[in-house]
Structure 1
Amino acid sequence: MHDTSRLIVIGGSWGGIQASMKILQALPADYSVPIVLVLHRLRNQEGSLQELYEKKLLLKAVEIDDKAPLEAGHVYIAPANYHVLLEKDHTFSLDDSELENYSRPSIDVTFTSAADVFGENTVGILLSGASKDGSSGLKHIFDKRGTAIVQHPGEAEIATMPLAAIHSTPGCSILNVERIQAYLLTLHGH
């Protein structure tokens, strides 16, 4: 069963690639909820994240195109130097406006627009990272009654991002990677 009425958004920076890879490797190819991944990369970093994920995941890893529709069984990867927004018709829009929190893509931008469209059916997951990006977006998801999950700071490669999110959203769930994985598997096929 494909459920595009829900959305999982995952953000991270330093250490976030490894953490998200571990989480997503557990998910089956027909996973029923679309997943959007926003990772900070170094501005001049060459090489495709999409290829990296494609090799290791059962899910289909695609870099986001403007106006592309959300589909289940996909991990959508934010392209370098664009903010990713979700539209009411469940398509993407890419935006190259100002940096937010010194970042483009900004996790806050994607988390906030996801919560505005999907409300309580949004699952936001913030992983390891060295900035505070994502904390206000995660709070917005939580305020819209979505699910707010933060990687346990003790497990994160760099705890700055998880700690900032825990500070801004005291009601969030603090889970290690294995428990995040287990939670995402419970969403499958419901």
Structure 2
Amino acid sequence: MPRLEGRFDAIVIGTSAGGVEALSVLLPALPPALRASVFVVLHLPRDRPSLLVDIFEHRCRHRIREAEDKEPVEPGSIYFAPPDYHLLVDRGRDRVVRVALSSDDMVHFSRPSIDVLFEAAADLYGCRLLGIVLTGGNEDGAAGLAAVRRLGGVCVVQDPDDAQAAYMPQAALKKVEPDFVLPIRQIAELLGGL
């Protein structure tokens, strides 16, 4: 089994169709001592409340929350993008890393957008970022993962043959040569070794 080398301050995960099932394997595998903050974009209907916190809070050993604008980022917490808002991270003048929510235009017909999160996180965390693209039905995440790669982060893509919807991982593989292309259970093992 491959291992991740280095220390990560943040992990960004992007997914769409089939994402709840994939995250149900991945998020519970995160080790209890994980200090990295985890940010997740799952494409959701824009006009309904998200149930992701309810779905995952009893399955995971980490604090899980729907991201709120301007809140300080806490190590070891998992943040879900709320419906109809882009999720970003930024360091303010006080040097504290905070969540930022944006209602800017949709990207690839999506808000929240995986690309928006990945690009903001890559700018902030550079080589201390782990980016993961999972199952999904559009190309959101490919450009964002390319930004993670360009700024020195580690890139993981779910094996398209293992994905419920192969298009998103395939699009990522066309733009980026990732460090790992693995089925979801092996990505979970990879994260479990952090």
Q: TM-score, normalised by structure 2?
A: 0.89
> Structure 1: how far apart are the matches of 2:176 and 2:24?
25
Q: Within the alignment, does 1:31 sit opposite 2:34 as a pair? A: yes
Hey, what does 2:175 align to over in structure 1?
168
Q: Which amino acid aligns with 2:20?
A: I
Q: Within the alignment, does 1:83 sit opposite 2:90 as a pair? A: no
Query: Aligned-residue CA RMSD in angstroms?
Result: 1.6
> Structure 2: how far apart are the matches of 1:171 and 1:134?
13
1:44-59 matched pairs, under 5 angstroms: 44-59=47-62
Cα deviation per residue 1:3-25 (whole Å; 9 max; x = unaligned)? x9610000000011211120111
Q: 1:167 Cα deviation (Å)?
A: 0.4
Q: Retained in 2: the 8 A contact 1:166–1:172?
A: no
Q: 1:30 Cα deviation (Å)?
A: 3.7
Q: Retained in 1: the 8 A contact 2:44–2:50?
A: no
Hey, what does 1:11 align to over in structure 2?
14
Q: Within the alignment, does 1:62 sit opposite 2:65 as a pair? A: yes
> Structure 2: how far apart are the matches of 1:152 and 1:17?
17
Q: Within the alignment, does 1:109 sit opposite 2:112 as a pair? A: no
Stretches of 4+ moved more than 4 A in 1?
Answer: none
After TM superposition, the structure 1 stretch with the greater mean CA deviation from structure 2, 15-24 or 161-170, is 15-24
* Structure 1 SS opposite 2:160: coil
Unmatched runs of 5 consecutive residues or more in structure 1? none
> Structure 1: how far apart are the matches of 2:127 and 2:43?
26
Q: Retained in 2: the 8 A contact 1:108–1:133?
A: yes
The number of equivalent residue pairs is: 184
After TM superposition, the structure 1 stretch with the greater mean CA deviation from structure 2, 165-174 or 138-147, is 165-174
After TM superposition, the structure 1 stretch with the greater mean CA deviation from structure 2, 24-33 or 123-132, is 24-33
> Structure 2: how far apart are the matches of 1:149 and 1:29?
21
Q: Which of 78, 87, 98 matches 2:105?
A: 98
Unmatched runs of 5 consecutive residues or more in structure 2? 1-6
